[in-house]
Chains A and B, each alone.
Chain A
Amino acid sequence: MSRHQALNKLGRSGNPIIRSAAFQDKVSSSEEKMSLEGAVNKTSIMLFLTVTAATISWNFQGPLMAIISTLGALAGFISGIMTFGFYFFFVGWIVKPRPHNAPRTAPIYAIGMGFIIGIISQHAESFYPGIVIQAVSLTFFVATSLLLAYKTGLIKPTQNFMLMIFAATMGIFLTYIASLIYSLFSGSHFLVITGNGNMSILFSVVVVCIAALNLVLDFDIIEQSAEQGAPKYMEWFGAMALMATLIWLYIEILRLLMKLRSR
């Protein structure tokens, strides 16, 4: 009898320590998989960090806070690129997505963005009292409506849907970049972005719709990753993607409400 045959016939080991359930458990726990519950918990943690940072920057305005917020926004921006990567038309991936960085970058992103949101919100509230509550409420209302539509299968994200949303998002991003460059040279902004005319409001409504539809893609990432048993760090990645879209949606709704109130 060869040794292979002997092993197959007699079994691997009779040692109770090696064969114990405790040992098996230890092996399986080292390969933890993502779960929906975990992604929700991480989203809650990120939301808590963002709200806390926003509250601090709202209440302690001043030159020091301006510096902290700028550094926070910069850290958040770098964290976002380190996790989601950076893609540009015709060039491709300039920085590739690295989802395994998410457990480290997500809290930095949440705090950094919280500081800048606090300053923006405080600025908006000083001009239009009550606008922040309205914007936050509308953000959650839109997000919940889309989540309900996604979970029930009313909205079905497909490949074409994703490409359409991705192209529209990139278009908005490029428009903002063009506006920023234009303002640096001319000293004035694109009126279609900053004005309060009909076209400007229509532009804001379109941007809000695109930001909201991005949420559907985030829900799908979380749902599918959990279904396929993705690694545990994908919980942080999904939460970070969701938070990034929620923050964008909030800022766009705030901007839309400011335009409407200024008329």
Chain B
Amino acid sequence: MSYLTLFLGLIGLLSAFLFFYLLKFKASSKQTNRGNRIRWNSYIPYRDKKPNKGKKKESEDSSFRDN
């Protein structure tokens, strides 16, 4: 195994650890607080939750009638 391979292997190992370590942190405010961010939720559709039909709203409940 050449020295170049060993050196690159070491750099790769350190990079991999650093990669997973840094990934956990929130990005700086310089990145997050700007107006020209990509609106990913308009491209990636989150599945809409099915409305809970068993749970009626108070105002829709027929047993309650305001007289």
Contacts and interface: CB of A to CB of B under 8 A. Distances in A.
User: B5, B12, B40, B46: which has the most chain A beta carbons within 10 Å?
Assistant: B40
Contacts of B41: 224-225, 228, 230
Interface residues of B, number: 43
Nearest to A6: B64
Contacts of B67: 2
Contact of A220 (B18, B29, B40, B65): B40
Interface in B24-67: 24-32, 34, 36-38, 40-41, 43-47, 58-59, 64-67
Nearest to B30: A153
B40 A224 contact: yes
B47 A137 contact: no
Interface string A16-32: 00000000000000000
A202 interface: no
Choose among B38, B47, B58 the residue with the greatest number of A CB atoms under 10 Å from its CB.
Answer: B38
Measured as residues with beta carbon below 8 angstroms from the partner, the interface class of chain A is: 35 or more
A143 B38 contact: no
A141 B28 contact: no
A58 interface: no
Nearest to B29: A153
B5 to A, nearest CB: 4
Contacts of A36: 23-26
Contacts of A159: 36, 38
A147 B23 contact: yes
Contacts of B64: 3-4, 7
A159 B38 CA distance: 5
A153 B36 contact: no
Contact of A4 (B2, B8, B16, B58): B58
Given A44-B20, A99-B45, A153-B31, A144 B40 contact: no
Contacts of B9: 133-134, 137
Given A2-B66, A156-B31, A231-B46, A140 B19 contact: yes
Given A140-B15, A230-B46, A147 B38 contact: no
Given A99-B45, A147-B22, 18 more contacts: A4-B59, A7-B64, A37-B24, A40-B24, A97-B43, A97-B44, A99-B47, A134-B9, A136-B12, A144-B16, A144-B22, A147-B19, A150-B27, A151-B27, A153-B28, A162-B38, A220-B38, A230-B46
10 contacts: A36-B24, A99-B44, A129-B1, A130-B5, A136-B12, A150-B27, A152-B30, A223-B26, A223-B32, A224-B38
* 10 tightest Cβ-Cβ pairs between the two chains A and B: A137-B12, A153-B30, A140-B15, A130-B5, A153-B31, A137-B8, A100-B47, A144-B15, A144-B19, A140-B16
